[in-house]
C-alpha cells in the first residue's frame, strides 16, 4: 500500500468516526434492551471505538516499508 493510499484511507476513517460518534447513530444505539446485561449504547461506543483502532492499525501496519526504507523510498516501484 502506497503512502498516498494510506493517507486517503485514514481520512476516510476520520470521516467514518465522525459519523459513528454522532447524531443519529447514537440515538439508534441508545435503546432500552440489553445483551448479556450490557446496554447497547455501551457496546456500540466501545465496539465502534475498538473497530476504528483496529482499522487504523490495519491501514498503517499492513505491508509497512522495512525499517531501513524511509517513507520516500516506498514510491518508486522496482524496475521490471
Partner 1 sequence: MLDAWSLLLVSSLYLAVLFAVAHYGDRRADQGRSIINNPYIYALSLAVYCTGWTFYGSVGRAAAGGVAFLPIYLGPTLMAALWWFVLRKMLRITKAYGVTSIADFIGARYGKSGLLAGLVTVIAVVGTVPYLSLQLKAISASIAVILAYPELPQPGAVPGASFWGDLALYVTLLMAAFSILFGTRHIDATEHHQGLVAAIAFESVIKLVAFLAVGLFVTFGLYDGFGDIFSRAIAAGHGHLLTFSGTGTGYADWFAVVFLSGLAILFLPRQFQVAVLENINERHLNKAIWLLPLYLLLINLFVLPVALGGLLRFPGVGVDADTLVLTLPMAEGQRALTVLIYLGGLSAATAMVIVETVALSTMFCNDLLMPALLRVPWLRLNERADLSGLLLAIRRGAILAMLLLAYAYFKVVGASYSLATTGLVSFCAAAQFAPPILFGIYWKGATRSGALLGLLAGFGIWIYTLLLPALARSGWLAAEFIEAGPFGIAFLQPQALFGLAGLDPITHCLLWSMLANLALLIGWSLIARQSSYEQLQASLFVDVDRLAGGPHLWRGTARVADLRALLARYIGPDRAEQAFARHARARGLTLPADAEADPDLITLAERLLAGAIGAASGRVMIATVVKGASFGPDEVMAILDEASQRIEYSRQLEQQRAALEAAGEELRRANQRLTELDHMKDDFLSTVSHELRTPLTSIRSFSEILLDNPDLALAERSQFLGIVVKESERLTRLINDILDMSRIESGRMEWYLTECDPVMVIEDALAATSSLFHEKAITIERHMPAEGPTITADRDRLMQVVVNLLSNAAKFVERGQGRVRVVLTVQPDRLTVGVEDNGPGIPADQAEAVFEKFHQVGGNTTTKKPSGSGLGLTICRRIVEHFGGRIWAEPAAPHGAAFRFTLPLAATGAPAAEPPPVAEQPASRAS
In the complex, the residues that contact partner 1 under the rule CB under 8 A are 6-7, 10-11, 13-14, 17-18, 21-23, 26-27, 29-32, 34, 36-39, 41-42, 45-46, 49-50, 52-53, 56-57, 60-61, 64, 70-71, 76, 79
The packing angle between helices 3-20 and 40-61, to 10°, is 170
Cell triple for residue 33?
Answer: 434492551
Return d(Cα 63, Cα 80) in angstroms, integer: 20
Beta strands per DSSP E along 1-80: none
Q: Tell me which residue of 4, 9, 8 sits closest to 52, measured CA to CA.
A: 9
Amino acid at each position: 500500500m502506497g503512502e498516498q493510499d494510506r493517507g486517503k484511507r485514514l481520512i476516510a476513517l476520520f470521516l467514518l468516526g465522525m459519523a459513528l460518534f454522532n447524531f443519529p447513530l447514537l440515538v439508534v444505539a441508545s435503546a432500552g434492551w440489553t445483551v448479556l446485561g450490557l446496554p447497547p449504547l455501551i457496546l456500540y461506543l466501545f465496539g465502534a471505538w475498538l473497530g476504528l483502532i483496529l482499522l487504523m492499525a490495519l491501514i498503517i501496519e499492513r505491508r509497512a516499508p522495512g525499517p531501513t526504507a524511509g517513507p520516500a523510498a516506498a514510491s518508486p516501484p522496482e524496475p521490471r
